[in-house]
Structure 1
Amino acid sequence: MNNFMQTLRTLRWDDHRFYHHSTINQSLHFISAITFCVSYALLFVNPAAAAILAWTVSMTTRQAGHFFFEPRGYDDVNQVSDDYKEEVKAGYNIRRKIVLMAIWVAIPAALWFAPSLGGLIQPHTDVRGFLHDVGIAWLSQGAAGLAVRVIQLCITRNVTEGLAWGFKIITDPVMDIVLYHKAPLKLMRGQMISSVASPTMPTAAH
């Protein structure tokens, strides 16, 4: 258990210090985290709606922060290159995220032009049915994306890191609220880059 918790802390610290320098990115993560928490609650009531909210609001704001606002050059704070950060990232780096988001975009198109997906599902007959199918498909994509990466990490690194990363992803919304709730105020003050130091994180990484 101690090894699991230390691995979890290290993963969170590396994610914070390497990939969240921009206060715009941090602010978008704060918005994303709140929306994800709402989606978690909605999951027990309407899974399809929860997935639609998570993907259209939470994921788009979160990934927009990484794609458009996070600095991609040499990291002077951590003294590492962007290529290094992309290579060592435990989760989805930019290349993997592009694939993930491409699948996300393709799913509604596939369901629109092939409502039964070749006989795999009951075809929708109206817009409400279409949205339900899209939501369930997106929910399945999210679960599959999480499971596949956990398995990959268990095989290519170790089981502890794979499981710790999976737990980190599930609990990221809560941690992001804790870490980035002050980011919008910093942004309004004109602070575009924020210190990566945080009292809730360890001060050393692997």
Structure 2
Amino acid sequence: MKDFLEALRTQRWDDHRYYHHCRINQSLHLLSAMSFVVAYGMLFIDPAVAALIAWLVSMTSRQSGHFFFEPLGYDHVNQATQDHKEEIKVGYNLRRKVVLLSAWALLPLAIYLKPGLLGLLPVHEDFAGFLHAVGYAWLYLGVAALLFRTTHLFFLKDVQTGLVWMTKILTDPFHDIYLYHKAPFQLLKGQRFEHVEMRTSL
């Protein structure tokens, strides 16, 4: 258990120091995290609505922070190139995210053109039904993406690395709220970028 928690701390620290320099990105991650917590609660009420919240609010705000606001050049703080960071990233790097988000964007079109999607989803008869079907499709996509990368890491690295990454992803909303709750206020004070320094823990 000690090794597991240490590996989790390391993955979280690497993710933060390499990919969360910008306070705008951190603020968007805070919005994303709070939305994910709401989505977690909605899973017990309406899973399709939970997935709509998770993808439309949480994932959109989270990934826009990475794509549009986070510096993509040489990382002077960590003495690392963007290519190096992308190569060693445990989870979904920017290239893998483009593939995942492309699938996410194409699913509503596929459901519109083929209601029920070959019997995998409920056939919609109105716009509300269409949204519900899209929500379920996005829920399945999210679960599949999580399990696929976890299993992939079993073979690329080892079982612990995959399980640690899955644990990190599932608990990121709570950790991000703790980590970035001050980011909007720091941004309002004119602190556009965090000067990341090595710390023993997060």
TM-score bracket for this pair, using the shorter chain length: over 0.9
Residue in structure 2 matched with residue 164 of structure 1 by the alignment:
164
The 8 Å contact of residues 20 and 196 in structure 1, kept in 2 or not, is answered as no
Contact 2:121 2:136 in 1 (8 A): no
Q: Give the Cα separation in 1 of the matches to 2:102 and 2:197.
A: 33
In structure 2, the residue matched to 1:31 is 31
Q: 1:44 and 1:199 mapped to 2: Cα distance?
A: 37
Alpha-carbon distance, 1:162 to partner: 0.4
CA contact (8 A) 1:179 1:198 kept: no
Structure 1 CA distance for aligned equivalents of residues 63 and 116 of structure 2: 30
CA contact (8 A) 2:24 2:69 kept: yes
What does the per-residue CA deviation read over 1:122-163, in whole Å, with 9 as the maximum and x for residues that have no partner?
A: 421111211111000000000000000000111100111100
- Unmatched segments (≥5 aa) in structure 2: none
TM-score calculated relative to the size of structure 2? 0.96
Helix, strand or coil for the counterpart of 1:92?
coil
Match of 1:128 in 2: 128
Whether 1:11 and 2:11 are equivalent positions in the alignment is yes
Q: 8 Å contact 1:24–1:69 — kept in the other structure? A: yes
Rounded to whole Å, the distance in 1 between the matches of 2:64 and 2:107 is 20
Q: Which 4+ runs in 1 deviate beyond 2 A?
A: 118-122, 195-202
**Aligned counterpart, 2:110:** 110
- Root mean square deviation of aligned Cα: 1.3
Instruction: List aligned pairs for 1:28-177, cutoff 5 A.
Output: 28-177=28-177
Question: Which moved further from structure 2: 89-98 or 122-131?
Answer: 122-131
For residues 154 and 66 of structure 2, what CA distance do their matches in structure 1 show? 25
Query: Whole-Å Cα distance in 2 between the matches of residues 42 and 121 of structure 1?
Result: 19
Q: Aligned AA for 2:83?
A: D
Question: 1:8, 1:197 → 2: CA distance?
Answer: 19
Q: Number of aligned residue pairs: give it.
A: 202
Displacement of 1:201: 2.2
